[in-house]
Amino acid sequence: MPTPSAELFSRLKTGDLRAASRLMSRAESHDPATIATLGEIYKSAGRAHIVGLTGVPGSGKSTLVSRLVSEIRKSGRKVGVIAIDPSSPFSGGSILGDRIRMTNLVLDEGVYIRSMATRGSTGGLAKSALTAVDILDTAGFDVIIIETVGVGQDEVEIARASHTTMVVSAPGLGDDVQAIKAGILEIADIHVVSKCDRPDSNRTITDLKTMLAMGINISIKDQSNKPVWQVPVVGTSSETGEGIDKLITTMDKHREAHLTSELGEERLKRIAEYRTFKTAEDLLRNRFFDSTSERISALVEKISKRELDPFTASDELLGNIAF
């Protein structure tokens, strides 16, 4: 017989990582019998520093995470990593290759790495990513890093799911206009320029600082209009280790700034709002497909032949669902 989720929860609170892995798998499979336990896990979490790390594909996120985790561990803190990989829109499969770049961490008992597939979820996150964060938080991890799938120009959900959001840029991946597009610049609490051992990295750092100085997300202010946090640009090199210590110090300072200001409380409310709406959205979607699966084929047949329009069909489907 499978171990009851409630028993796994008891083991999780003692730091049992096997229990953590099994609970994450049940969360990903949307096991109805686990929902009550996941609710208890959520209530017991809330101590860890959740760090979101995003950026365009090829910016060196996974390698940076590996180096970042190694340095954080030197302070004795336990670090969890949730690495999101894209799922194929055709086969539904996923390579889950981000953790391949973190093989140097697998023997460290103070590090836990979980790869998760998007499974059709948009926004750069997997549906169960934040539930996995709760599980690691309850297991006693101090810092939990979420590495997104590789953010596009409008995939900025990580900013609504983390305490500290770091946007990674790399030299040579785009011009000034590309960097400023569609919210990527605005979501960052910390801008990170990777591969700064390259000679063209100084231009990228200068460009970002110039755009910030122009007033785009230059600082976060409290209700009295007093600056609480000025968004910095930190150059790093995963090859040489340059800037990694500075990045960790900056990350910790940002956490402290929010813990000691009203902004921290407001951010927690935004995260709670985001999670509530996303959970409700998933529940509605599942109920919709469960309720319409028998009728949808006939409607699709009529729509494809132009005998019925999608607006009327959608209204008919929704009208027969008890929300």
Which tens digit of pLDDT belongs to each residue from 145-161?
999 876 554 557 888 88
φ, ψ (nearest 5 deg) of residue 191? -95, 130
Beta-sheet pairing, 219-221 with 190-193 = unpaired
Q: What percent of the chain has pLDDT over 90?
A: 41
- Full strand arrangement of the beta sheet holding 190-193: 111-117, 79-85, 143-147, 49-55, 164-169, 190-193, 233-235
pTM of the predicted model as reported, rounded to 2 decimal places: 0.86
Kindly report, residue by residue over 300-311, the tens digit of the pLDDT.
999 999 999 999
The residues of the chain scoring below 50 in pLDDT are 89-91, 153, 176-182, 218
Neighbours of 269 (CB within 10 A): 10
As a whole number of angstroms, the distance between CA 35 and CA 65 comes to 31
Query: How high is the pLDDT of residue 90?
Result: 47
As a whole number of angstroms, the distance between CA 37 and CA 248 comes to 33
Q: DSSP readout, 216-265? A: SS-EEE-TTS-EEEEPPEEE--TTT-TTHHHHHHHHHHHHHHHHTSHHHH
Residue carrying structure tokens 């402290």: 256
